Amino acid sequence: MLLLVRAAFDQPSCEVHTKTSDTDLVTETDQAVEKLLINGLSKRFPGHRFIGEESAAAGQKIEYTDEPTWIIDPIDGTTNFVHRIPLVAICVGLAIKKQLRAGIVYNPLTKELFSAQIGKGAYKNGFPIHVSSTTGSYLSALLFTILILSLIRINEEADSFQNLDIKFSNRLFVAASALNRCLIAASHGIHNLPIFGETWMNISLENFRRQCFAGIRGSKVLKEFFSGLYVFQYYRNISSRHRYFGSAAINMMNVAQGSVDAYVEYGAHAWDFAAAVVILREAGGIIIDPTGAEFNLMSRRILCASTPELAEAVSLTLSHVEYEHEA
């Protein structure tokens, strides 16, 4: 199977089809890998169920029950695969009684194997991995000092400190300081355009803008801190804190190993997340719904972060869209 993927990747071209839209691609390799995985696991575990990306695309109903269920994405990052960008992953997750219990994310091109079982830690090629410790907590005091100094300066100039309308928020301080230090993986989610149209792009761009302006890393601006108060108006390197790797699983593995601090996605599917969820949690990561609620595998949206403080900080910057649950 691994030789199949690597051989197909090395070909100058491969046969590509579309599923739900022109940006939703599938290759013969996707289909072949899923078939091999399901056939192999069925022989070993004849009573188990399966949820597979290509099976669902072919019309098979998604049934998420209490029965042991393997959730498979044969090639996460198909667009990368088609364009010969080696950021792809074979993802296999196991759920029992709707609880994710084990996961494997394997990039056959870079030979990176991420794995985890509940209660046994997360590993990359046999070595333990852990999320970063980005919280931004020590910067909260700095931001508080900046605000107070700014207010004192305004008071000295206007001589009307008593008339200032100050709306203090500890959550805002924590959010700004956490986002100031973190590296976020997020996409504009072009796959959502067929569902929500231009509304989605407006939401996506606004979310991106809020995250960019939430911190003061380097010479960035901390904009509209309270009631329209501008602390800085010097803009530079505004997008240095966002990366996207073209694969939900690869994004989540980068959070799990501490390379990236947070990841948010709207419009992906259960097979994009299932295997990676177990690994990221075992690596010490936080996984919630982007609204701040409990994560639901079938909700088609996810927010991952290295710490609870950072998860809340990212959530506070987001506007949300609702999807029909997959099962």
Q: List the beta bridge partners of residue 89.
A: 76
Give the least confident one: 20-34, 84-98, 262-276: 20-34
Q: How confident is the model at residue 122 (pLDDT cuts 50, 70, 90)?
A: very high
Task: Tell me the percentage of the chain whose pLDDT exceeds 70.
Answer: 62
More confident position, 35 or 28: 35
Tell me which of 76, 261, 282, 312 is the catalytic residue.
Answer: 76
Q: What is the mean pLDDT of residues 10-16?
A: 62
Q: Is 76 marked as binding a ligand?
A: yes
**75 among known catalytic residues:** yes
In the residue annotation, 78 being an active-site residue is answered as: yes
Q: What is the pLDDT of residue 230?
A: 38
Which of the following is catalytic: 34, 73, 282, 309? 73
Q: For the segment 227-286, what is each residue's pLDDT rounded down to a tens digit? A: 333 333 333 333 346 677 889 999 999 999 998 888 888 888 999 999 999 999 999 999
Contact 242, 208 (CB under 8 A): yes
pLDDT score at 68? 97
What span, in angstroms and rounded, lies between the C-alpha atoms of 181 and 205?
A: 21
Domain ranges in the chain are 2-128, 137-316
10 is in an annotated binding site: no
**pLDDT tens digits, 123-171:** 999 999 999 886 644 333 333 333 444 444 444 444 443 433 333 344 4
Asked if residue 53 belongs to a known ligand binding site, the reply is yes
**SS3 per-residue string spanning the chain:** CHHHHHHHHHCCCCCEEECCCCCCEEEHHHHHHHHHHHHHHHHHCCCCEEEEHHHHHCCCCCCCCCCCEEEEEEEECHHHHHCCCCCCEEEEEEEECCEEEEEEEEECCCCEEEEEECCCCEEECCEECCCCCCCCHHHHHHHHHHHHHHHHHHHHHHCCHHHCCCCCCHHHHHHHHHHHHCCEEECCCHHHHHHHCHHHHHHHHHHHHHHHCCCCCCCCCCCCCCCCCCCCCCCCCCCCCEECCCCHHHHHHHHHCCCCCEEEEECCCHHHHHHHHHHHHHCCCEEECCCCCECCCCCCEEEEECCHHHHHHHHHCCCCCCCCCCC
Query: How far is the CA of 188 from the CAs of 52, 211, 273, in angstroms?
Result: 25, 13, 18
Active-site residue (options: 30, 34, 265, 272): 272
Fold of 2-128: Fructose-1,6-Bisphosphatase; Chain A, domain 1 (3.30.540)
Active site residue 76: yes
What mean pLDDT, rounded, does the chain reach? 75
Q: Catalytic annotation on 261? A: no
**Catalytic member of 27, 69, 78, 134:** 78
Contact between 80 and 52 (Cβ < 8 Å): no
- For residue 75, say whether it is annotated as part of any ligand binding site: yes
Q: What percent of the chain has pLDDT over 90?
A: 39
Active-site option among 51, 75, 129, 302: 75
79 in active site: no
Active site residue 146: no
Radius of gyration of the chain (CA): 22
In 3D, which of 255, 305, 285, 282 has the Cα closest to residue 122?
Answer: 282
Q: How many CA atoms lie within 13 A of 101 on its CB side?
A: 11
Q: CA of 309: how far to CAs of 137, 211, 214, 252, in Å?
A: 8, 15, 14, 18
Q: Given this structure, which CATH class describes domain 137-316?
A: alpha beta
Find out whether 127 and 300 touch, Cβ atoms under 8 Å.
no
